[in-house]
Amino acid sequence: MFLAEEGIINAVQSLGSPLLDKVFVGITQLGNIMFYIVLISLIYWCFNKKTGFKLFCLILFLGYLGVFLKNVFKTPRPDKSLWRTEASGYGFPSCHATVTTGFWSYILIFLRKKWITIISSVIIFFVAFSRIYLGVHFLIDIIGGFLIGGAVALSFYYLETKVRITLKFYQKILVCIFVPLVMLAVSMNDSTIQICSTLFGLSIGYLLENRTVNIQTGVKNKTRVSRAVIGLLLVSAVFLSLSILPSHLDFIQFIILGLTITFFAPVVFSKTDKIFK
């Protein structure tokens, strides 16, 4: 089976060129979970905090599920001689395909606009195609990621529209602690530690921000631009400064990353918004 699928990769790569290699290396970044962290941060700061937080939960769960399933199935990637970019871990399912399909499927279901459907479909297709073109995934890995991502998006949308649970503040805090710990108990490795640490930081920050600062997102475009620039600079500075931590303390870096996005950045905005009204 793997030989037949490598034949598909060879056929796709036969149409390539050095220029296309660079193009698809760029396109494949649209399936990177950190790309979505940045994108959703902008939604959270500038448009809608509640929707932004839900998208953070969705994208991190998709990333976690992809890593978990990789370690369950433990299928190999294509031979390294086919690789045109770096990759790590097992093959099935493709996390890029899972995350991309899940995010954009939810967006098109949530917004239900034709132009969003077209854009979402194009991004899903080209990210998936890039993984085959770059030689780091078999077709079955892509199909699996597509089906898993789509199923999670549909389930997530159904649950948020049909299920309503009211919790007190301290109960929400306990959930923010309990859920990442359970996820780590099920699957603990470098990737899941980073994902669960980020989820914990984002969740605690979201609760604290709503209870204290509670910035509003219905602001002028000038304020939105200032938030985007200041927020991205702040998050980048914090994340890079914490990269000096030893690898066994990575979880601190990702907890603070989450807290910075959902709490510390809004604290800063509460001051800078007065300047950029």
Residues acting as catalytic residues: 96, 137
Tokens representing 206? 């979201």
Cis before residue 93, ω within 30 degrees of 0? Answer: yes
Tokens representing 83? 């690789």
End-to-end CA distance of the chain: 60
What is the rounded CA–CA span in Å between residue 237 and residue 258?
Answer: 13
CA 5 to chain centre: 28
Task: Yes or no: say if 60 and 120 are a contact pair by the CB < 8 Å rule.
Answer: no
What is the rounded CA–CA span in Å between residue 245 and residue 5?
Answer: 41
Residue 17 vs residues 23, 144, 186, 211, 246: alpha-carbon distances, Å: 10, 28, 43, 54, 39
Tokens representing 223? 């304020």
Task: Yes or no: say if 100 and 124 are a contact pair by the CB < 8 Å rule.
Answer: yes
Dump the DSSP string for 209-254. Answer: HHHTT---S---HHHHHHHHHHHHHHHHHHHHHGGGS-GGGHHHHH
